[in-house]
Structure 1
Amino acid sequence: MAVRRWIGPGLALAAAGPARAECLGACANDLLAALVSILVYALIGIVLLVMLIRPKWRRAGLWGLGLSVLLALGPPAVSQGWQAWKLRAVEAREVVGDPPSLAQRKPLLIAPRPYCRDEVCGEVLRRRGQGPVYVVPGEALTGMDLSGPVALADLPLETWS
């Protein structure tokens, strides 16, 4: 009888309709994976708890608990260590300092949108000063073969300042 009381809430949690209404696509897949992993961890926890309570299975339960803790904490720790090592290697090769002055250069900029106030192209325009910046609109590059060199005469250049 006690099991029947939990069937409804369990099905509601598994369906997660309100949560899926908020996120569709990959978000729903992540939500399903999280629910399945919670269910698997709960099942493992119940099995280990029963094994630790029963004196006959206590030794195997301790081994299982140690193995599950190792598997739950080991791979994320190794992954985070690998990421930190790679991040340190990338940061060691970074060039730190002020960017070069754009006042003496004529930059060619590919603008992803027709406006650029808060993006990188806006910063290029501010650092350039009064001089013009040659811009290629991003939509003009659609359909072009960019695997090889492209002649500047083939591009619709605009002058922004």
Structure 2
Amino acid sequence: WQRGESRQYITYVQDRGNKKLVEAFRQWLGCQEGVNAGAETRTLLKAFSDYVESEDLPEEASREKTDTLIDYANAQAKRGEPITLDELSELVDEQQPKAFYDYIRNQDYGLAAEIPPDKRTLQQFKRFAGRASGVSISFDSHLLGNSIEYDDERDRLIIKQVPGQLKDQIKQRGH
């Protein structure tokens, strides 16, 4: 920490209404908060979703990779250890152990090599799934409100960014 090799040693637990007091205390101590675990975990999950989407994976493979990420992140949180991007990348794709890591670096998400896992953010990263009358739909919960919208009044689900594989199949049928 003193050598400046990590930003993960100082964090504050604060009341919602006491920003001025926390800021004054921070200045008095002469330090600054290094990492926002919730924001870092959200960025990692966004990067992961973008990666899975860019790979245009079948639903089963996408679900497996998501489960792998969540299982690993939760295990690290229980141990009180950070999520290591190298290790996560190897777990997500054993055939191409560097693929996810390289994707994150090339897209420049601004993530450190190690991320403190935030349990609350991980719990929110779940999938919605449903099946009826020959239709099967599942998607990561964080996509709701972004690329997927639910219209409660009309009982419609609107998909803004149709997966490439699905789009190709629909076009081949002539619709």
Instruction: Report the TM range for the smaller structure's normalisation.
Output: under 0.3
Report the TM-score when normalising by structure 2.
Answer: 0.24
**Which fold has the larger relative contact order, with Cα–Cα distance below 8 Å and residues 6 or more apart in sequence?**
2
More helix by share: 1
The structure with more radius of gyration? 1
Relative to total residues, which structure has the larger strand share, 1 or 2?
2
